[in-house]
């Protein structure tokens, strides 16, 4: 697309070539920003209209948004006629001041897209129907429209209609209904009703056959009708922030539904068939008081909901109410004594020597007014050393008791920050919608006046703290909205993909910030403080206990306070607890859990759903990381017990225990002690012995170390030679662990680090890196955990409390933490030679992996606000105090080929001086393709049409840049390969819509901006079996006697068997009977129905069975009558045997030659038939039909042959002629003459037909023409 400018007066407008027909796009928007008056803008518009008379000026797209326009020129007499822009296809008028819909627009007969949103229009004129010939897209959101006129329904070509839109801040209208003939819009596929006044979905919507996207969010809709199933093509439905209490069953029949948003309603129960929405990939159900399934199950996706509902159908539902109560606060706040008082209703004060180490977990049941509640209390140790472990036990759905020692509290900012603010920030940064109840202890040691003064001070400071956080969030949102406006203008002016991506990123950021604003701390009783004493008088304890109970079951505080679970899930929790008590290890293997689950009829999919739910509620611990995936902690307290062996607020006590258990000499342990105090390093051997002396097994030790490594609490360090700055001697060959959390606090950067990393960048070197700025309090342990998870390409060097220096070869890499005003910075930097190839290596194997790890850790503190930026390498090298910064988004964008150099982003204060430039590769990482395949790929069937794929991912240290996600490719037998994308960090994806009981091959590959990388090894998997989709075919029946009928059939079509056929049910009853059917089961493809009535007609049908169950019965039941008399002297059996023996067994090859069968046909007959004589005869009859060209079905042929009974003598005469070669056959045929036996006549007639065919085929073939089988 070529660009040029159009000068009108002093204003230059951007003009672009729009299409091949020569039409142009003119950007005449945002003119008010150029400080133009209303008259100036009107004159510019008049001149644009006048230029339509000039050759070569043909506007197809015109942007006039954000100009403050109140009307469009409509005065032909004065040359101000907007309709002269007759070739306009697209017109943008949004964000102006139109109070009336401009009538002149209806004269634009070619206009296809009109956006007149964000104005103050109150009605749509009837004349809009005059635009029916061309208008396809109409945007009307953000106005004051109350009614949609019927005239709009004449827009027969309308495809997209926005009566409200989320893109705008006030994007709705005041519409409450739609006109009756709205269903005439047969081409409408996108309808947005967002932010209006609808109380129900208008029925006319269900008359729109093409509708794909429907957004009715932020209305007042109370229910969705069952008629929704008429929207067969619907792929997106948004009904968030309404008043829905349930979803209709019809919703589960929308087989194409891909995206569903029902956030912020009052839904408690999902339809039982919800799991059938197999195409649903994007599903948001937060902010609903879900009971069945519980919210924790719903957040795991549609697959888990389906598993839950299937399990609920199999076992008895159980209603449970439980609450996790977290007691937190500084040391000596009285948390443990308070927990004891709540649990026992007695005073059990804790001595200082018995203070909580790390944390304790206790459970008990509480009952008030006949309603019971199970409480699981987590008592957090308040000492600084334990704060790293708290984060792993904070979770949504908990009641947080923030305990403050009123006796020691001082009405000062510093005291408030330490006793209250720190803990509020800790909870708020990690828990969404955290419920906090402030509790003041030691009331027995204060006067009433002191209590009143201190509680008032705390309440006031808490209110100020929360208000400041809200203001800060509002400022952030406003700043992002300004950036969105600029980005939207850039999209309008350039239309580039980069600008669109930037706009989308900013819109998502604004949505996240808004969500954070709406999901902040919730203080019980508006921040009132419960004043208690755990001393003998137990002041306030009974009231607090009642409050805890009331809050725990309050559906406003905890929407999912009551939840319904399958009985098997409850029993599984009990089994795990029991097994954990019996086991000598603290963990169970996944195989052991599978065995326990099998006792409750839980398959692997069901077991995973149970485990995820129990992990969410804190009943068990089952982490999904690569290392711990196959380990389950049935009792979380056991893991805490192990953590206590390492985390102790009394360092001397810990070192004393290590010294005693290590059995080392004082001199040798002196080195261990020095390494631990100075460098936070401990030998593996010392730790192992420490565990052993505390009666812990080697498995317990290894598991604990895996947990600590996974969470970034420790990492292995290589032995460093004597003389390494800042460390004591480490013995070569031994394994050592560093615990960054225990590093001593340092003042500034140590001198030995400054030697390796001078403050000024050395000549010939460049410094590249990334900065993360975290607003407010730094997430506890984030930096230490980051330093414990360095990529393996980096060799650890020197650590101190605020930094870690490592090396990639000879190139230093520095990770630092720096406190700044309003927050903290984490800086990741590397120094390389500017002209070397090591720049890309530094990006790929040091900087980017650390950036990815930082982002991954920050996700755990989902409510923390942070930004990422790239310090300007030029400013860094120049040693400037105020640096310029590039936006962090560049890390995920393509490195530009041109220009190869970028201008420094630092604002210039002296005009006329060009900005310094720097190489693009110092700012943009390379976009390499992954050279390694994802690890820990697990594929397992989820159902007969679904397969679940879990991916461990590409290890951070092996990632060649930013991994954007993964491509899961799968291919079934004889089918085209398909692909499903996964975002990075998404552990599982479910492949849906697969064929039943079918083999699929699955591979996974990571992709970056540079492309798709190496695929994992292919994994073959079968979908689960299901009941057959089709019945057996070619069902035929023959009467054997007056009491028996024999039935033959073939198995269902192979692609509809859905598994191995395990047998068949033959259903039969008298034709006119009304009672129950009789059933006969067989594993063969034939069955004999016995004990029937004489000469009675029966209706017969057959169904196939797999291991899952029965398929459908054959569609048209076969009717067959038993014989009138039994055959005498065994004649019928003799005739049958003779036909089989003589015609089809002894001489079958000769007969095949005479019938003209090919070798392939002959082999097919012999192979496909079992040795049952009549089965062979039946198959041969089918082949005879093929040869002779008969169109009759086997059943109709049999009926015709039976009708020949009266003329059987003529058949016998022919048999005599043929029987000259076999007198016995002729004799048996003669015995059948005149007998009133249907079956006897049938077989004789069959003999005649076969012999006629043999004779005719033999006479027609020339003597010299050999058969295929000759």
CATH class of 938-1022: mainly beta
Task: Look at 330 and 580; give whichever has higher pLDDT.
Answer: 330
> Residue 827 and residue 772: Cα distance in Å, rounded?
6
**Residue 825: closest CA among 770, 773, 749, 768:** 773
Stretch 955-977: mean pLDDT, rounded?
78
Contact between 814 and 797 (Cβ < 8 Å): no
Question: What confidence tens digit (pLDDT) does each residue in 178-206 have?
Answer: 999 999 999 999 999 999 999 999 999 99
Residues sharing a CB contact under 8 Å with residue 749, sequence separation 6 or more, in sequence order: 757, 800, 802, 803
pLDDT of the residue at 1149: 55
Question: What superfamily would CATH give domain 322-463+522-561?
Answer: P-loop containing nucleotide triphosphate hydrolases (3.40.50.300)
**Residue 564: closest CA among 157, 869, 863, 289:** 289
| Percentage of the residues of the chain whose pLDDT score is greater than 70 | 82
pLDDT band, residue 870 (cuts 50/70/90): very high
Of the ranges 14-23, 250-259, 552-561, the best mean pLDDT one: 250-259
Task: Look at 351 and 253; give whichever has higher pLDDT.
Answer: 253
Stretch 453-463: mean pLDDT, rounded?
95
pTM: 0.67
Neighbours of 612 (CB within 10 A): 17
> CA-CA-CA-CA torsion for 102, 108, 112, 115, nearest 10 degrees?
-20
Residues sharing a CB contact under 8 Å with residue 594, sequence separation 6 or more, in sequence order: 604, 607
pLDDT band, residue 1152 (cuts 50/70/90): low
**What is the radius of gyration, based on Cα positions, of the chain?**
41
Stretch 113-135: mean pLDDT, rounded?
93
Question: What confidence tens digit (pLDDT) does each residue in 1215-1226 have?
Answer: 333 333 333 333
Stretch 158-187: mean pLDDT, rounded?
89
Task: Look at 4 and 345; give whichever has higher pLDDT.
Answer: 345
pLDDT of the residue at 793: 67
**Contacts within 8 Å (CB) and 24+ apart, 794-797:** 794/845, 794/846, 795/718, 796/715, 796/717, 796/718, 796/738, 797/756
> Six-digit token pair at 1086?
């034939």
**Residue 270: closest CA among 260, 256, 279, 281:** 260
> Residue 1052 and residue 1046: Cα distance in Å, rounded?
19
**Residue 614: closest CA among 548, 568, 555:** 568
pLDDT band, residue 388 (cuts 50/70/90): confident
pLDDT band, residue 1146 (cuts 50/70/90): very low
**755-907+916-922: CATH architecture:** 2-Layer Sandwich (3.30)
214 pLDDT higher than 90? yes
Neighbours of 299 (CB within 10 A): 18
> Residue 49 and residue 1086: Cα distance in Å, rounded?
86
Question: What confidence tens digit (pLDDT) does each residue in 983-1030 have?
Answer: 766 677 888 788 888 889 999 998 876 778 888 999 999 888 888 989
Contact between 1069 and 1099 (Cβ < 8 Å): yes
Neighbours of 706 (CB within 10 A): 16
pLDDT band, residue 1249 (cuts 50/70/90): very low
Q: Answer yes or no: CATH 3.40.50.720 is held by domain 299-319+568-635.
A: no
Question: What confidence tens digit (pLDDT) does each residue in 403-445 have?
Answer: 999 999 999 999 999 999 999 988 988 888 899 999 999 999 9
pLDDT band, residue 1254 (cuts 50/70/90): very low
Question: What confidence tens digit (pLDDT) does each residue in 1068-1079 have?
Answer: 999 888 888 899
pLDDT of the residue at 312: 82
Map out the domains of the chain as residue ranges.
Answer: 299-319+568-635, 322-463+522-561, 650-744, 755-907+916-922, 938-1022, 1033-1121, 1128-1260
Q: Answer yes or no: CATH 1.10.10 is held by domain 650-744.
A: yes
802, 920, 924, 1010, 1253 from 897: Cα distances, Å: 38, 9, 11, 14, 82
pLDDT of the residue at 9: 66
For residue 458, count CB atoms less than 10 angstroms from its CB and return exposed for 0-12, middle for 13-18, buried for 19 or more.
Answer: buried
> Six-digit token pair at 1044?
């028996």
User: What φ, ψ does residue 14 adopt, rounded to 5°?
Assistant: -80, 130
501 pLDDT higher than 80? no
**3-state SS, residue 1095:** coil
**Residue 442: closest CA among 430, 428, 454:** 454
Contact between 798 and 728 (Cβ < 8 Å): no
Stated as kind and residue range, the H or E segment containing 311 is: helix 302-314
Question: What confidence tens digit (pLDDT) does each residue in 651-661 have?
Answer: 888 888 888 88
pLDDT of the residue at 1159: 60
pLDDT of the residue at 712: 80
pLDDT of the residue at 997: 87
User: What φ, ψ does residue 97 adopt, rounded to 5°?
Assistant: -130, 35
| Percentage of the residues of the chain whose pLDDT score is greater than 90 | 24
> Residue 333 and residue 328: Cα distance in Å, rounded?
9
Hey, do 299-319+568-635 and 1033-1121 end up sharing a CATH topology, with the first three levels equal? no
**1033-1121: CATH architecture:** Sandwich (2.60)
DSSP alpha helix (H) spans, 816-926: 838-842, 848-860, 873-878
């Amino acid at each position: 697309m070529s660009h040029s400018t159009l000068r009108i007066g002093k204003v230059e407008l951007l003009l672009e070539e729009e299409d091949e027909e020569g039409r142009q796009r003119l950007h005449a928007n945002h003119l008010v920003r150029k400080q133009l008056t209303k008259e100036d803008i009107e004159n510019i518009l008049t001149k644009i209209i006048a230029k339509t008379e000039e050759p070569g000026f043909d506007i197809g797209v015109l942007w006039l948004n954000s100009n403050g326009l109140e009307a469009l020129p409509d005065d032909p007499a004065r040359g101000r006629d907007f309709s002269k822009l007759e070739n306009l296809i697209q017109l943008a008028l949004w964000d102006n001041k139109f109070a009336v819909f401009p009538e002149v627009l209806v004269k634009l007969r070619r206009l296809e897209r009109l956006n007149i949103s964000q104005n103050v229009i109150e009605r749509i004129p009837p004349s809009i129907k005059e635009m029916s010939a061309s208008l396809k897209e109409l945007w009307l959101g953000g106005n004051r429209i109350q009614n949609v006129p019927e005239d709009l329904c004449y827009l027969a070509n309308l495809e997209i209609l926005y009566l409200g839109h989320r893109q705008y801040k006030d994007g709705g209208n005041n519409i409450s209904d739609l006109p009756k003939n709205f269903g005439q819009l047969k081409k409408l596929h996108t309808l947005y009703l967002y932010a209006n006044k609808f109380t129900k979905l208008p029925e006319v919507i269900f008359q729109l056959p093409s509708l794909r996207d429907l957004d009715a969010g932020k209305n007042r809709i109370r229910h969705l009708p069952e008629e929704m199933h008429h929207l067969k093509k619907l792929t997106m439905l948004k009904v968030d922030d309404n008043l829905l209490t349930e979803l209709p069953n019809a919703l589960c029949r929308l087989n194409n539904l891909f995206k569903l948003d029902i956030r912020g309603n009052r839904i408690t129960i999902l339809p039982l068939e919800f799991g059938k929405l197999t195409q649903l990939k994007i599903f948001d159900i937060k902010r609903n008081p879900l009971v069945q399934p519980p919210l924790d199950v719903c957040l795991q996706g549609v697959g888990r909901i389906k598993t839950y509902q299937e399990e609920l159908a199999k076992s008895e539902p159980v209603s449970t109410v439980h609450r996790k109560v977290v007691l937190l606060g500084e040391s000596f706040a009285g948390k443990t004594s308070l927990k004891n008082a709540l649990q026992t209703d007695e005073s059990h004060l804790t001595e200082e020597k018995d203070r909580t180490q790390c944390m304790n977990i206790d459970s008990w049941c509480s009952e008030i007014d006949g309603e019971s509640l199970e409480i699981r209390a987590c008592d957090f140790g308040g000492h600084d050393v334990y704060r790293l472990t708290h984060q792993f036990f904070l979770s949504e759905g908990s009641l947080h008791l923030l305990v403050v020692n009123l006796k020691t509290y001082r009405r000062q900012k510093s005291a408030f920050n330490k006793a209250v603010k720190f803990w509020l920030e800790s909870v708020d940064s990690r828990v969404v919608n955290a419920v906090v109840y402030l509790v003041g202890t030691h009331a027995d040691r204060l006067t009433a006046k002191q209590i009143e003064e201190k509680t008032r001070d705390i309440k006031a400071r808490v209110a100020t703290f929360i208000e400041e956080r809200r203001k800060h969030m509002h400022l952030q949102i406003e700043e992002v909205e300004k950036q969105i406006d600029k980005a939207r203008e850039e999209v309008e002016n350039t239309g580039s993909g980069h600008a669109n991506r930037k706009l989308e990123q900013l819109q998502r950021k604004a949505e996240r910030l808004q969500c954070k604003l709406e999901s902040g701390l919730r203080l019980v009783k508006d921040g009132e403080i419960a004043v208690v004493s755990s001393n003998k008088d137990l002041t306030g304890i009974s009231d607090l206990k009642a409050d805890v109970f009331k809050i725990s079951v309050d559906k406003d505080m905890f929407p999912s306070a009551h939840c319904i679970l399958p009985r098997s899930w409850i029993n599984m929790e009990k089994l795990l607890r029991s097994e954990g008590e019996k086991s000598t290890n603290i963990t169970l293997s996944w195989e052991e859990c599978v065995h326990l689950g099998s006792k409750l009829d839980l398959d692997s999919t069901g077991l995973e759903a149970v485990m995820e739910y129990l992990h969410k509620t804190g009943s068990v611990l089952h982490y999904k990381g690569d290392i711990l995936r196959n380990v389950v902690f049935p009792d979380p307290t056991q893991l805490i017990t192990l953590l206590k062996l390492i985390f102790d607020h009394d360092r001397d006590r810990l070192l004393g225990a290590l010294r005693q258990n290590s059995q080392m000499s004082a001199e040798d342990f002196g080195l261990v002690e020095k390494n631990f105090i100075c460098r936070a390093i401990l030998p593996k051997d010392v730790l192992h012995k420490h565990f052993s002396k505390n009666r812990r097994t080697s498995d317990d030790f290894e598991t604990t170390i895996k947990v600590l490594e996974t969470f970034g609490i420790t990492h292995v360090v290589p032995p460093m030679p004597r003389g390494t700055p800042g460390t004591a001697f480490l013995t070569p060959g031994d394994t050592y662990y560093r615990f960054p959390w225990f590093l001593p606090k340092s003042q500034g950067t140590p001198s030995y680090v400054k030697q390796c990393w001078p403050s000024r960048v050395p000549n010939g070197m460049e410094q590249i890196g990334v900065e993360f700025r975290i607003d407010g309090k730094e997430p506890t342990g984030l930096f230490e955990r980051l330093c414990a998870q360095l990529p393996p390409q980096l060799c650890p060097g020197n650590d101190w409390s605020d930094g870690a220096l490592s090396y990639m070869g000879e190139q230093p890499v520095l990770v630092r933490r720096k406190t700044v005003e309003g927050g903290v910075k984490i800086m990741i930097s590397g120094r390389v030679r500017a002209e070397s190839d090591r720049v890309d290596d530094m990006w790929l194997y040091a900087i980017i992996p650390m950036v990815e790890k930082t982002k991954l850790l920050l996700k755990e503190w989902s409510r923390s606000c942070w930004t990422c930026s790239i310090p300007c390498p030029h400013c860094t090298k120049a040693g400037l105090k105020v640096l310029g910064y590039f936006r962090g988004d560049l890390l995920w964008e393509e490195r530009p080929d041109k220009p190869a150099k970028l201008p420094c982003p630092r604002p210039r204060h002296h005009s006329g001086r060009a900005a310094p430039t720097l190489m693009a590769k110092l700012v943009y990482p390379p976009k390499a393709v992954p050279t390694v395949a994802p690890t820990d790929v697990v594929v397992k069937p989820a159902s007969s049409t679904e397969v679940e794929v879990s991916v461990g991912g590409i290890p951070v240290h092996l990632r060649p840049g930013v991994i954007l996600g993964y491509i899961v490719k799968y291919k079934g037998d004889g089918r085209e390969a398909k692909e499903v994308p996964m975002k990075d960090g998404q552990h599982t994806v479910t492949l849906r819509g697969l064929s039943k009981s079918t083999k699929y091959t699955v591979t996974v590959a990571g992709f970056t901006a540079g492309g798709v990388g190496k695929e994992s090894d292919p994994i073959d998997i079968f979908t689960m079996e299901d009941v057959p989709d089709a019945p057996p075919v070619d069902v035929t029946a023959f009467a054997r006697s007056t009491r028996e009928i024999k039935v033959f059939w073939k198995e269902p079509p192979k692609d509809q068997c859905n598994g191995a056929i395990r047998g068949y049910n033959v259903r039969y009853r008298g034709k006119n009977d009304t009672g129950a059917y009789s059933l006969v089961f067989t594993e063969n493809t034939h069955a004999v129905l016995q004990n029937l009535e004489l000469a009675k007609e029966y209706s017969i049908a057959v169904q196939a069975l797999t291991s899952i169950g029965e398929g459908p019965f054959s569609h048209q039941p076969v009717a067959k009558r038993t014989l009138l008399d039994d055959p005498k002297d065994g004649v019928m059996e003799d005739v049958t045997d003779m036909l089989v023996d003589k015609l089809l067994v002894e001489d079958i090859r000769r007969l095949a030659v005479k019938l003209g069968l090919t070798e392939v046909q002959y082999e097919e007959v012999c192979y496909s038939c079992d040795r049952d004589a009549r089965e062979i005869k039946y198959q041969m009859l089918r082949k005879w039909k093929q040869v002779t060209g008969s169109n009759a079905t086997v059943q109709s042929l049999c009926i015709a042959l039976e009708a020949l009974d009266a003329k059987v003598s003529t058949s016998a005469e022919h048999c005599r002629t043929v029987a000259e070669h076999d007198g016995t056959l002729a004799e048996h045929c003669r015995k059948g003459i005149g007998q009133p036996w249907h079956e006897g006549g049938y077989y004789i007639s069959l003999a005649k037909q076969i012999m006629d065919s043999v004779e005719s085929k033999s006479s027609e073939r020339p003597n010299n023409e050999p058969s295929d089988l000759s």
